[in-house]
């Protein structure tokens, strides 16, 4: 009774640096922003308005139209990544892990390199490639007789967002590829040999044996893509500016937040409404991650080798 368990100080000591840094850089600003979203300026003084900012954001057509437009665009941006980036990443990883492929390291590096480039470079280079005036895209299409397919994509409301999403896919396809590649390599040879003994080879081996084993990795990639896309800002800002033209067709939550929080040209910044938008973004990401964690992650079957 008198002999209680000794206080395990070392746990606190070892956790302290990480907790301190994370609290200072992430937790405090996050809660500061969430708290700020409950205030607004009235007659020059900061007053508590409760959920007033959110009521404005979702209730006033002026704000809600812009918000839903940004959210819709963001969903489309995410959808393109899920439908294009991740399947291509998986396919590339499957090809790379094939023992028959020669110079796999070269391809792996070449495909991964854009991932480490700055958004500024990627945005600028693609803007030049797609430029109707100086770009090589019209010339290349012309060379194969498909000039009629060319359009000033980044300037057309119906194509601009898709074009930018595909640029982003081009940049980041290396990440799912590497993660899946690592997952594929970790599948023990015995499992594959056993499959071969049972006559499962080639594509059916991929679908029936490998794919179920890499599903957890695909789940992680999906959630990383989700968080990354809903926090995206840089590429749109670099390519289309803070007004996310044409006619707000490429406006996503990140650019909407930037314009509102920091202001743009003659529009002065509104940190309170900006915080409300940041709060809404936080909520959206939180809900998405929770749905994944509790709805999907727990149901994924894991295999121990």
Partner 1 sequence: MTKSFRTMLLASTVLAGPVLAETTLTIESWRNDDLTIWQDVLIPAFNAQHPDITVVFAPSAPTEYNASLNSKLEAGSAGDLITCRPFDASLDLYTKGYLADLTDLAAMANFSPVAKSAWQTDDGKATFCVPMASVIHGFIYNADAFAELGLTPPKTNAEFYAALDKIKEDGTYIPMATGTNDQWEAATMGYQNIGPNYWKGEEGRLALIAGTQKLTDEPWVAPYRELAKWKDYLGDGFEAQTYPDSQNLFTLGRAAIYPAGSWEIAGFNSQAGFKMGAFAPPVQAEGDTCYISDHTDIAIGMNAASPNAEAAKVFLEWVGSAEFAKLYANALPGFFSLNSTPVAMEDPLAQEFVSWRETCQPTIRSTYQILSRGTPNLENETWNASANVIKGTETPEDAAKRLQDGLASWYDPQK
Rounded to the nearest whole angstrom, what is the least distance from the CB of residue 117 to partner 1 in the complex?
A: 20
Given the complex with partner 1, which of 268 and 304 has the nearer CB atom?
268
With a CB cutoff of 8 Å and minimum separation 6, the contacts of 107 are 92, 96, 101
Using the structure block, give the residue that is written with the tokens 């937790």. Answer: 27
d(CA 213, CA 236): 36
Given the complex with partner 1, which of 105 and 133 has the nearer CB atom?
133
Q: How do strand 267-268 and strand 39-42 relate by DSSP bridges?
A: unpaired
Rounded to the nearest whole angstrom, what is the least distance from the CB of residue 171 to partner 1 in the complex?
A: 20
> Which residues are at the interface with partner 1 (CB under 8 A)?
62, 127, 130-134, 138, 151-157, 240-243, 245-248, 262-270
Given the complex with partner 1, which of 229 and 250 has the nearer CB atom?
250
Rounded to the nearest whole angstrom, what is the least distance from the CB of residue 12 to partner 1 in the complex?
A: 34
d(CA 79, CA 169): 11
Rounded to the nearest whole angstrom, what is the least distance from the CB of residue 274 to partner 1 in the complex?
A: 11
Given the complex with partner 1, which of 186 and 267 has the nearer CB atom?
267
Rounded to the nearest whole angstrom, what is the least distance from the CB of residue 72 to partner 1 in the complex?
A: 18
Given the complex with partner 1, which of 151 and 284 has the nearer CB atom?
151
Distances (CA, A) of 69 to 101, 168, 238, 277: 45, 20, 20, 13
Asked if residues 100 and 201 have their Cβ atoms less than 8 Å apart, the reply is: no
Rounded to the nearest whole angstrom, what is the least distance from the CB of residue 100 to partner 1 in the complex?
A: 43
Q: Phi first, then psi: what are they for 103, rounded to 5°?
A: 60, 35
Asked if residues 178 and 90 have their Cβ atoms less than 8 Å apart, the reply is: no
Extract the tokens encoding 152: 């000033």
Given the complex with partner 1, which of 135 and 219 has the nearer CB atom?
135
With a CB cutoff of 8 Å and minimum separation 6, the contacts of 148 are none
């Amino acid at each position: 009774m008198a002999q209680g368990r000794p206080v395990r100080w070392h746990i606190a000591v070892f956790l302290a640096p990480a907790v301190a840094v994370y609290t200072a850089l992430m937790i405090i600003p996050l809660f500061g922003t969430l708290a700020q979203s409950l205030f607004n300026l009235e007659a020059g003084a900061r007053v508590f308005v409760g959920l007033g900012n959110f009521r404005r954001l979702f209730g006033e057509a002026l704000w809600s139209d812009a918000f839903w437009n940004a959210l819709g665009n963001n969903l489309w941006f995410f959808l393109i990544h899920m439908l294009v980036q991740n399947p291509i990443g998986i396919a590339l990883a499957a090809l790379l892990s094939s023992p028959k492929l020669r110079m796999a390291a070269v391809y792996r590096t070449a495909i991964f390199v854009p991932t480490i480039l700055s958004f500024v470079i990627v945005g600028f280079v693609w803007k030049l490639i797609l430029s109707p005036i100086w770009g090589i895209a019209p010339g290349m299409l012309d060379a194969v007789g498909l000039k009629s397919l060319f359009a000033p994509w980044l300037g057309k409301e119906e194509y601009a967002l898709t074009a930018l999403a595909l640029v982003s896919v081009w940049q980041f396809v290396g990440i799912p590829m590497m993660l899946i590649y690592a997952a594929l390599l970790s599948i023990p040879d015995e499992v594959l040999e056993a499959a071969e003994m049972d006559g499962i080879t080639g594509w059916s081996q991929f679908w029936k044996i490998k794919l179920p084993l890499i599903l957890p990795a695909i789940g992680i990639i999906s959630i990383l893509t989700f968080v990354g896309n809903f926090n995206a800002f840089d590429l749109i800002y670099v390519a289309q500016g803070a007004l996310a033209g044409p006619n707000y067709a490429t406006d996503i939550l990140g650019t909407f937040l930037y314009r509102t929080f920091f202001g743009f040209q003659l529009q002065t910044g509104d940190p309170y409404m900006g915080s409300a938008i940041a709060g809404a973004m936080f909520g959206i990401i939180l809900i998405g991650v929770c749905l994944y964690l509790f709805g999907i992650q727990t149901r994924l079957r894991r295999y121990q080798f």
